[in-house]
Structure 1
Amino acid sequence: MNIAAGHAATGAFVQLDDVTKRFGSGKPALDQVSGIIHGGEITGLVGPDGAGKTTLIRLMTGLMSPDSGKVDVLGFDTRERSADIQAAIGYMPQRFGLYEDLSVQENLELYADLRGLPKPDRAGIFDELLTFTDLKRFSARLSGKLSGGMKQKLGLACALLKKPRLLLLDEPGVGVDPISRRDLWKMVEVLIKEGVGVVWSTAYLDEAEACDRVLLLNEGRLLFSGRPQELTDRVKERVYRVTGVSGRRRSSLAKLLDEDGVVDGGIQGEAIRLVTTPGHPARFAASGDADVSATEPHFEDAFVDMLGGGPGGRSRLAEAQDPLVARQNGPVIEARGLVKRFGDFTAADNITFDIPGGEIFGLLGPNGAGKSTTFKMLCGLLKPTEGEGRVAGFDLRLDAAEARNRLGYMAQKFSLYGDLSVQQNLQFFAGVYGLTGSRKRERIELMTSIFDFGPRLSMSAKDLPLGLKQRLALACAVMHEPQALFLDEPTSGVDPITRREFWTHINGLVEKGVTVLVTTHFMEEAEYCDRISLIYRGRSIALGSPDELKASVVTDENPDPTMEDAFIALVQGSDVEVAR
């Protein structure tokens, strides 16, 4: 696919000189940012929610102009030559504007019209792009019926219609499963070999680690510019793996995170991973007789360290939760032979598992595999075609209202009422869950305090930054102290600090006896699960702890697989079995 033919393969494609951009009278969205983006490379734009990544990409497109400083793109000043820039670049916004009631082919035709692509050239270009993105066999499918990964591939195809010299991708991996993310990455690697310059904004720090260079932003300021390894090396010999922890890992992690000298930490299967301050000895009071060994740092370790560390191990939300005594014998969440058919399509086929109290259970799978369908049947949002689901002992078909009163639900996409204020959403959901009088007031005041909603109570929910939207959704889901918590990709798109804060709360609630069912595309989050069911083509193809799933795919070539390696190997292995 010779996209960059005739163009220089390398060089400064974007030059940023003291770029500042403000919206209103508050802090600038970008504050004197300078840097260079080269051709033939992938440059990662990395930073927490609200860091300025999307603003910087929009400045590069010429859709906005800086308040001060200068943005040069492909030799053109964005203030003076925006039309020339837009003719030479490809741009895929964070929420790509596909028309869901049009087919894949019809979307390509529409964007070809918008981009002024000559009609005689279209058949060849469409064929090339559909082959490149592996969408040719889906060309007649409505885009609304595509999986998340396929939608991103179609978005990429539309961005490549005019053979850009510079490709700007604003968080293309959000909400996309590991296999689709790897596919997207491989496509982009083909482009850079042809000299295209690629800017990839991301909340996935394993993606940032794979970039040629990164620009790390926080609160509009540039904290780091260079190769990812240069930043990772800053925490070398400060990262440890703690194994053989006695007792529950979650409570041990919470204690360790509050020790002096511990910057960050997380659960990694049966182990705990910790990042320390410089010179901090590898002795941890909470580890007892556990084995502590140095381990290789990741880019994310250095990223969190540069931002001042994680949120610590304390969860005020969990501290306010009354311990749940077993209210019943048997599991809290049960799936018994669940089947869901839509016409002649079987979305979920004989899904069976049970989850005891105080456990985190993960549903993983590629986009469109059937995990969200399974999830919704267990929430009472979808009626199963066959089988049964139970929550806290109540059959979801016969006692749906009783079951729903014992669960909290956080949807994949922000599902609160955008036109209502933060205060109104809290009041509404407290009422939905049956809270009244002083109890209702107490819980709303507690959520407001824990999640720091005070200054934003009158703000419309739709205007909140993504991280605060997720906090509000979690607050509404736990308002009534549910026995079971259903989390459908709860941290998709949020930054690592917010993600850690979120999991500190979840781990704390589980220690109080709450049962959690979670779906996620972050494989490091899957490590927090006690057990995982991997769903593919509507069926469960693997069930076990994270360490058991990783151990099942060990090979001579990969003796220490990651959770992502396990995910991909198990899915690919299932395809091989089906093909036999």
Structure 2
Amino acid sequence: MPPRHAGRSPVAEPGHPPALRFAAVGKRFGSGARQVAALSDLTLSIPAGRITGLLGPDAAGKTTLLRLAAGLLRPDAGRLDVLGLDAARDAARIQARIGYMPQRFGLYEDLSVQENLDLYAQLQGLTPAERPARYAELLRLTALGPFGHRRAGALSGGMKQKLGLACTLLRVPELLLLDEPTVGVDPISRRELWAIIANLRTRGVTVLVSTSYLDEAERCDQVVLMDAGRLLVQGQPHQLAADLQGRCFAVRHVTLDRRVLQQRLLTAPGVTDVRLEGTGVRALLAAAAVPPPLEGSTWQPATPEFADVFVDRLQARQARRVALQVAQAAATDKTDKDVVLHVARLNRFFDQFHAVNDVSFDVVRGEVFGLLGANGAGKTTTFRMLCGLLPASSGELRVVGQDLRTAPAEARRQIGYVAQKFALYGNLSVAQNLAFFAAAYGLRKARLRARLDWALAEFELGPYLDRNAGDIPLGYKQRLALACALLHEPPILFLDEPTSGVDPLARSEFWQRINQYAAAGTTVLITTHFMDEAEYCDRLVLMSQGSVLASGTPADIRARAASPDVPNPTMEDAFISLIAAHEANLRRAA
């Protein structure tokens, strides 16, 4: 990613009005008793010519704020000025001067890259004379030049996001609104998207970008942190982080595994948050707290980051994480090393395209195993074959001793599966979804009642039982999907980017659950684009161009990427370094 730019002033220059000004803005949805306040008495200004990050947990109001700024919604209360214009009266004039890229940008997947550009150029009123130069600049900026004739639906996730941004930028806007533009894309694509965003700043474009990646906040000139429709804090990320000086520590232990150390510290008094980092953990202490006594541990002061600010400002939300952790104390250490997933010489062809090339690995009982790779690396195809959703062209696949190629039904009964996108029935209630999946898994009578009671208690779904699954908050959708996948107590759990788009607090809670299930003997196979989540895996396979590029523990992967310039790489550093070097070699060989 582009270097952080600490020290840049987040306020507009004197005489320059803010690009956005919210004055006591309120917005509600629903009717009667079901009304929900998405924004409440929101007052803030977004400076012109700067990049502002918009962050917050699920249901914070980020998307509503962006849609109001884009003129797609009208406030119910207060006043909103966009580029000096009243949003309630001048929506059409505002929309002619801004760019807006929603979470699911409407590419036409049956059209080529060039045809999508042509269509959006026509919609935005670019004359035929203006188009060639603008196309050339955007294709160069997004590195999509060689793919002009490729169908948009055949692009990788990161390439689709870049094409969506190119379509949004055909006319250079004064204000660019981006709603989670990097969700679901790999670290290399995220770096490329942020290079495009940084380039816009040099042209005087104001950018307001929402994100669930806390490291991206540190690439912004300023951040706006929201919760439950209200402003919590606004300021420069490095200044907000500086307020936590003396409360952040890198912790190591002479004997305890990192995950066990994390479990111990999460329930210790005075500890606000603990996350895995490098060869140990990173701990955030409450104000005025001191490191808890833990024999064999060493505490070194660490530089505060915006991730620490996020957790500290939302620490009231952490109470249930601690309560959940107490419930995990009974989880047992995994000792059974039986192989439950065996993959040997796995291949998959799509016509002449070799999508997965001779992939082999084993996963043992109670292990958390990560499958990583850039968009288009073949990991999703591999994952779908492992779940029995896609037949292999050749190779061996065994799940808990069952051959997935010759006895697929028996093998699939051993699997719980959470899809990359919410795959439950949005028009059915939470209760109806649970009942449907319980019936599909053959649960009856006493076991049916016991497992449904477990799901409601474990995932706290009671308040949403009668709500349609499509209408509940994203974090609870994730809980429901996980509950449905675990109803039949499968020995192996497949998770395909399960935390994509989920806020950092919900992701942390999710991983506490996964650690609990793994400690109790459930085997977990996960794909993710969050490199901090890769640290929670016991072992990893890193894929590139359909093949296994590297495998081993997180420490093994980081060590492979170490260099004199970067002696202690993060997992994201390692991912980018190893894949970029490998794919550059392939291009040179071609």
TM-score (normalizing by structure 1): 0.94
Answer whether contact 1:257 1:264 (CA < 8 A) is retained: yes
Residue-by-residue CA offset, 1:501-547 (whole Å, 9 max, x unaligned): 10010001111111111100001000101111110100111111111
Q: Which stretch of structure 1 is more off in the superposition, 164-173 or 31-40?
A: 31-40
Distance 1:255 1:313 in 2: 13
1:293 is aligned, of 282, 285, 300, to 300
Distance 2:36 2:233 in 1: 20
Q: Match for residue 565 of structure 1?
A: 573
Q: 1:27 offset after TM fit, Å? A: 4.5
Q: How does 1:6-85 map to 2 (within 5 A)?
A: 11-24=17-30, 26-85=35-94
Residue-by-residue CA offset, 1:371-403 (whole Å, 9 max, x unaligned): 011111111111111111111111111222222
- Residue type at the aligned position of 2:236: R
2:322 is aligned, of 312, 336, 343, to 312
Q: Match for residue 526 of structure 1?
A: 534
Distance 2:501 2:549 in 1: 27
How many percent of aligned residue pairs carry the same amino acid? Answer: 50
1:473 is aligned to 2:478: no
Distance 1:321 1:293 in 2: 29
Distance 2:464 2:323 in 1: 25
Q: Match for residue 120 of structure 1?
A: 129
Q: 1:100 offset after TM fit, Å? A: 1.2
RMSD value over aligned CA atoms?
Answer: 2.0
Distance 2:241 2:569 in 1: 21
Distance 1:159 1:486, change over 3 A: same
Residue-by-residue CA offset, 1:47-66 (whole Å, 9 max, x unaligned): 01110001101111111121
Answer whether contact 2:51 2:221 (CA < 8 A) is retained: yes
Q: Match for residue 209 of structure 1?
A: 218
Distance 2:349 2:148 in 1: 24
Distance 2:118 2:313 in 1: 45
- Residue type at the aligned position of 1:528: Y
Q: 1:314 offset after TM fit, Å? A: 2.9
Q: Which stretch of structure 1 is more off in the superposition, 117-126 or 383-392?
A: 117-126
Q: Match for residue 445 of structure 2?
A: 437
Distance 1:284 1:152 in 2: 47
1:547 is aligned, of 533, 555, 568, to 555
- Residue type at the aligned position of 2:21: Q
Distance 2:39 2:406 in 1: 55
Q: 1:313 offset after TM fit, Å? A: 6.8
Q: Match for residue 275 of structure 1?
A: 284
Residue-by-residue CA offset, 1:58-88 (whole Å, 9 max, x unaligned): 1111111212221111111101111111000
Distance 1:498 1:261, change over 3 A: same
Q: Which stretch of structure 1 is more off in the superposition, 312-321 or 236-245?
A: 312-321
| Structure 2 unaligned blocks of 5 or more | 1-13
Distance 1:531 1:463, change over 3 A: same
Distance 1:185 1:17 in 2: 30
1:458 is aligned to 2:466: yes
- What secondary structure is seen at the aligned counterpart in 1 of 2:561? coil
Q: Match for residue 7 of structure 2?
A: none
Distance 1:493 1:516, change over 3 A: same
Q: 1:269 offset after TM fit, Å? A: 4.3
Distance 1:218 1:351 in 2: 44
Q: Match for residue 389 of structure 1?
A: 397
| Structure 1 unaligned blocks of 5 or more | 1-7
- Residue type at the aligned position of 2:135: F
Q: Match for residue 231 of structure 1?
A: 240
Q: Match for residue 253 of structure 2?
A: 244
Q: 1:170 offset after TM fit, Å? A: 0.4
Q: How does 1:491-502 map to 2 (within 5 A)?
A: 491-502=499-510
- What secondary structure is seen at the aligned counterpart in 2 of 1:314? helix
2:455 is aligned, of 447, 450, 462, to 447
Answer whether contact 1:16 1:34 (CA < 8 A) is retained: yes
Q: How does 1:28-427 map to 2 (within 5 A)?
A: 28-285=37-294, 288-308=295-315, 310=318, 311-312=321-322, 314=324, 326=336, 330-427=338-435
Q: Which stretch of structure 1 is more off in the superposition, 77-86 or 23-32?
A: 23-32
Q: 1:207 offset after TM fit, Å? A: 0.5
- Residue type at the aligned position of 1:576: A
Answer whether contact 2:184 2:501 (CA < 8 A) is retained: yes
Q: 1:10 offset after TM fit, Å? A: 6.3
Distance 2:490 2:245 in 1: 42
Q: 1:128 offset after TM fit, Å? A: 2.1
Answer whether contact 1:9 1:40 (CA < 8 A) is retained: no
- Residue type at the aligned position of 1:312: V
Distance 1:339 1:318, change over 3 A: farther
Answer whether contact 1:255 1:313 (CA < 8 A) is retained: no
Distance 2:41 2:585 in 1: 55
1:487 is aligned to 2:495: yes
- What secondary structure is seen at the aligned counterpart in 2 of 1:235? coil
- What secondary structure is seen at the aligned counterpart in 1 of 2:537? coil
- Residue type at the aligned position of 2:25: V
Distance 1:538 1:49 in 2: 34
Distance 1:113 1:242 in 2: 57
